[in-house]
Amino acid sequence: MILVNDFLARQAVEASAPCRIDSGGTWDIKALALPFERIQPITVNMALTLRTFASLHPYEAGWVKISSSGFSEAEIFPAERLPFDTRFGLFCAAVSYFGFHGLEVRIHSQSPVRSALGGSSTALVALIRALSAVAIGLGGKGLAKKEILHLGYHLEDAVSGGNCGIQDQAAAVYGGVQQWEWRYGNRTAAFRRRALLDRGGQKALSRRLLVAYSGRRHTASRINRQWIRDFLSGRTRAGWLKVNETVRRFGGAIETRDWGLAAALIREEMAVRREITPEALTPTTGELIAMAEDGGCGARFTGAGGGGSLWAIGDREQIDLLRRLWESRLAQVKGAMLLDCGIDPSGVTDEEVRE
């Protein structure tokens, strides 16, 4: 194992990565995508200017300390016995992969805790980038973006016991607005990435987006397991196939900046989702999505839903009106809020440390 406290005492390290909103989520999970690779499983990710930061600081030799904003207690463990099944077990696994000890990991996110914006995966990507920077500083080899994505996905999939998707890590690594085709059967490339918008297009989309936190924390693992079971049994498969085709058309609408069509396609996706994933909606998110649809916008939950966040897209005038409606409704829910954000053009990056 490698002691890094002296290095970090001279040079603390920090990296950050963006959270995301998505369309087509769950098709990035291998259990769905691999048997149906012939239909080209698609998801669309939009990275947000809500970033998660991972900073590394010196700590006692032989030990690792991990803390995160939104959680009251840190975890401190001997480096040789790092557990991977605790609240911060995923981050312990990343530290273990690099073989470091004598460090403190501090996670800070600009998005609410468990808001279904890809937070844990985003934090993992930022942490891997920071650990890679330490490896370079010690004379070793760092990881390229594609390698960060590969490691982040496989670490999370392993620690979670399988059935982990890759879209959250992908958005965190590359940023921007991307369409992903998942090709797990391809021995050289598990995905094909296509950027849908340039910087100008990302700014235009930012003016036509609304993102909100529902005030209720979500737990993705339980909901995802149910969706996968229903898909594997064949019970909901026809709906999932329809979702995939709708998301493909949504990606095309975003690429051509046809915002009205994009909104209509999100309404179409949600119509199917209400049938095949009803547990994704809560009374609050269901009401907010209905408000958006009544106003000519499209809206859907993020990630696996069950609380967390939601987002809407529409023409500027429609989004401006919806903003006022959502703001009024969210004011009635403890902890709920509109999130001030737009499209983040950058993926994972190094940061100047702010002590």
Q: Report how far residue 270's alpha carbon sits from residue 275's, in angstroms, rounded to the nearest whole number.
A: 9
- pLDDT score for 353: 61
Range list of H helices, 4-118? 5-10, 30-33, 89-98
- pLDDT score for 307: 87
Q: pLDDT over 70 for what percent of the chain? A: 98
Is the confidence at residue 218, as pLDDT, over 80? no
Q: Judge: domain 199-338, CATH 3.30.70.890.
A: yes
- pLDDT score for 174: 97
For residue 203, what pLDDT band results from cuts at 50, 70 and 90? very high
For residue 223, what pLDDT band results from cuts at 50, 70 and 90? confident
Q: Which token pair is 12? A: 């603390």
The 10s digit of each residue's pLDDT in 97-108 is 999 999 999 999
The 10s digit of each residue's pLDDT in 1-54 is 999 999 999 998 999 999 999 999 899 999 999 999 999 999 999 999 999 999
Asked whether the beta carbons of 50 and 110 are under 8 A apart, the reply is yes
Q: Which token pair is 117? A: 């914006």
Ranges of beta strands (E only) in the chain are: 2-3, 13-23, 42-58, 63-68, 75-78, 100-101, 103-109, 177-182, 191-195, 209-213, 298-301, 309-313, 337-338, 349-351
64 beta partners: 77, 103
Q: Which of 212, 22, 45, 54 is nearest to 122 (CA)?
A: 54
Q: What is the mean pLDDT of residues 59-85?
A: 94
Is the confidence at residue 352, as pLDDT, over 60? yes
Q: What is the mean pLDDT of residues 175-196?
A: 95
- pLDDT score for 354: 57
Q: Where are the domains of the chain?
A: 2-198, 199-338
Q: What is the mean pLDDT of residues 345-354?
A: 84
Is the confidence at residue 222, as pLDDT, over 80? no
- pLDDT score for 219: 67
Is the confidence at residue 220, as pLDDT, over 70? no
Q: What is the mean pLDDT of residues 317-336?
A: 97
In degrees and rounded to multiples of 5, residue 39 shows phi and psi of -95, 5
For residue 321, what pLDDT band results from cuts at 50, 70 and 90? very high
Is the confidence at residue 355, as pLDDT, over 80? no
The 10s digit of each residue's pLDDT in 115-167 is 989 889 999 999 999 999 999 999 999 999 999 999 999 999 999 888 889 99
Asked whether the beta carbons of 168 and 126 are under 8 A apart, the reply is no
The 10s digit of each residue's pLDDT in 224-242 is 889 999 999 999 999 999 9
| Per-residue exposure over 99-122, b if at least 16 CB sit within 10 Å of its own CB, e if not | ebbbbbbbbbbbbbebbbbbbbbb
Fold of 2-198: Ribosomal Protein S5; domain 2 (3.30.230)
